[in-house]
Structure 1
Amino acid sequence: MSSDLALPRYTFFDQAFSQHYTQAGQGDVLLLIHGSLCDYRYWRWQIPALSQGCTVVAPSLRGFWPEALATEDASFSIAQHTRDMHTLIRAISPDRPVHILGHSRGAQVALELACQAPELTRSLILADPGFRVDDEAETASFHAKAVALLEQGEVDKALADFVDGVNGPGTWRQMVGWFKAMVKDNAYTLLSQVREINLGIRLERTAGLQCPVLLIGGANSPARYGSRLDILEQAIVQARRATIPLASHGMNLANPKAFNQTVADFLAQT
């Protein structure tokens, strides 16, 4: 099996930018937004399962594979990726709002998108968001060590440090070949992403969300992700919460059956 599941790659051209994505299924659109070091291949176990009930659209964000950055790029940002997703939704679903699911860094893009364009958002799913809330103190991040290793040419060490930091010690060593290949393809996005370390969200903006919201966490995810879900659960009145058993931050890969069922059930109820 190929690393992209042999799914068709579509390209939407927006001025000088080519938005690459894959698509499967029929019906209402579910937009899947990946996190750090990933691309649409990250959703390899979600696309076939969830496309049984809807149209799944999974883009690779600007700067990621198949046109991955090799150097730092000042245009790489949550704001730019949010604008790109806004444009993509307008192109693929001009007449109907879409379901939006974001994982990790992608959850911040998803939340920004829902807050900025509620008319495009039918429901919102946030899986293990890691962003800082504006009134919290800024903190040091493991991103910096990974970036330093990348700049020294220690790609494998950098990626092991980052992946273990978000999932738990020893995760990189246990990862399968296709996942390591994907992450290596996107390694140098960290040179740009490091500038976002303490980029926060204004929590009061979430009070304006009117769409159904699902918060998903991995049962074994590092505590910082659970703390984000705690804060969002308190701030968003209509939010529901689910925990994926036997899984850490990469919950959709570690326990895809439970993850897919949780998402499908939520979509069916909305």
Structure 2
Amino acid sequence: MQTLSVNGYDMAYLDVGRGIANNPPLVLVHGTLGDFRTWNAVLGPLSKRHRVISLSLRRFFPEHWDGVGNDYLMAQHTTDVIGFIEKFSAGPVDLIGHSRGGHIGFRVAQARPDLLRKAVLAEPGGDLEPALQPSTPPPGPVPLGPRVPIAAELVRNGDIDGALALFVDGIDGEGAWARWPATARQQLRDNVYTLLGQVGENRKPFLKSEAESIQTPTLLIGGGDTKGALAVNWRVLAEHMPGARTAVIPGTRHWMFEQAPREFCDIVLEFLKA
């Protein structure tokens, strides 16, 4: 593990592989409750072709945050990733963002396209503006957004696993948390206090005009069995992002790169080399 000081905060990251000559570094941005360990299943295949930089966002592991402070903001995380890329690389990088990290990747492409060669957004999280929302709600679990403040209150009351079950089941269906392996559950426990920050993170909805403005070549990717808004967002965004490509990994859900790492890497590396 290494750290890089960005905007007054030491961002932790893993630096894996040398990659192939002329391939840009590949920056990986995790989602809610994740950290640089989120990508362990795909670091090997990805690092055969790219120098892979897996970072931890502000307030995530290895920091053990207590939820106190006012800098857990979507805008701050976006600014931090921009600052990290500026300091780390002499030229444009490729970027993969998952869930929250996919939202951040979208914002980086929107604000600083000069920093990105290509982007992969894996089921980016957030809300669509009303003009982009489907006429009927997508089938799936109870929407995730309303669950976050309830989960945060459970954290405050010391019910850590109750909070995480509420959150994870809101993404992957009821009972999903109970079926997760111990290692994956511990990673989320290590980051559970970030749910307190997420309540007031001020995440803006995706706008049609923003999607239409993205010029970075982008692949949007999803799990074939994902339900709810996460299964809709990336498809809608792809319809409005110029030249965007899409891919689905059958038999997987939101954490598709853990459930089918080989298939995920094959799709991503094919896109990045084109």
Q: Give the corresponding residue for 1:253.
A: 258
Q: What SS does the aligned partner of 1:133 have?
A: coil
Contact 2:59 2:194 in 1 (8 A): yes
Write the distance in 1 (CA, Å) between the matches of 2:252 and 2:199: 26
AA of the residue aligned to 2:32: S
Indicate whether 1:185 and 2:193 are aligned. no
Deviation at 1:85, TM superposition (A): 0.8
Alignment of 1:159-238 (within 5 A): 159-196=164-201, 199-238=204-243
Which of 12, 28, 33 is the matching residue for 1:32?
28
Q: Structure 1 residue 69 and structure 2 residue 65: aligned? A: yes
When residues 197 and 154 of structure 1 are mapped into structure 2, their CA distance, relative to the original with a 3 A threshold, is farther
How many Å separate the matches in 2 of 1:127 and 1:15?
A: 26
- 2:13 maps to 21
Match of 1:12 among 4, 21, 26: 4
Equivalent residue number for residue 244 of structure 2: 239
Q: Which moved more, 1:198-207 or 1:251-260?
A: 198-207
Between stretches 199-208 and 243-252, larger displacement belongs to 199-208
- Counterparts of 1:13 and 1:183 in 2: how far apart (Å)? 24
Instruction: Extract unaligned runs of 5+ from structure 1.
Output: 1-8
Q: Shift of residue 211 of structure 1?
A: 2.1
Q: Which amino acid aligns with 1:25?
A: G
1:112 to 102, 107, 118: 107
Does structure 1 residue 80 correspond to structure 2 residue 62? Answer: no
Partner Cα distance (2:6, 2:32) in 1: 23
Residue deviations 1:153-189 (CA, integer Å, cap 9, x gap): 1001111111111122221111112111110000000
Name the structure 2 match of 1:5: none
Aligned counterparts of 1:155 and 1:34: Cα–Cα separation in 2? 21
Counterpart Cα distance in 2 of 1:194 and 1:112 = 19
AA aligned opposite 1:21: Y
Q: Is the 8 A contact 2:72 2:201 kept in 1?
A: no
Residue 41 of structure 1: aligned partner:
37
Note if 1:102 corresponds to 2:107: no
Equivalent residue letter for 2:6? D
User: Using the alignment, how far apart are the partners of 1:250 and 1:15 within structure 2?
Assistant: 30
Equivalent residue for 2:129? 134
Number of positions where the alignment pairs a residue of Structure 1 with one of Structure 2:
259
CA RMSD of aligned residues (A): 1.7
Q: How far apart are 1:133 and its partner, in Å?
A: 2.2
Contact 1:89 1:120 in 2 (8 A): yes
| Structure-2 change in CA distance of 1:185 and 1:86 (3 Å) | same
Change (3 A) 1:14 1:208: same
Give the counterpart letter for 2:104 in structure 1. V
1:144 counterpart SS class: helix
| Local SS of the residue matching 1:84 | helix
1:218-248 superposed Cα distances (whole Å, 9 cap, x missing partner):
0111131121122112111201110011111
Residue 15 to residue 259, structure 1, CA distance change in 2 (3 Å): closer
Q: Which amino acid aligns with 1:127?
A: A
> Quick one: which amino acid aligns to residue 156 of structure 1?
D
Q: Is the Cα–Cα contact under 8 Å of residues 29 and 54 in structure 1 kept in the other structure?
A: yes
In 2, Cα distance between equivalents of 1:245 and 1:68: 35
Taking structure 2 as the reference length, the TM-score comes to 0.90
SS of alignment partner, residue 190 of structure 1: helix
Letter in 2 for 1:247: T
Shift of 1:253: 0.7
Q: Secondary structure at the match of 1:44?
A: helix
Whole-angstrom distance in 2 between the partners of 1:220 and 1:196: 28
The residue identity in structure 1 corresponding to 2:193 is: Y
Structure 1 counterpart SS, 2:65: coil
1:100 match: secondary structure: strand
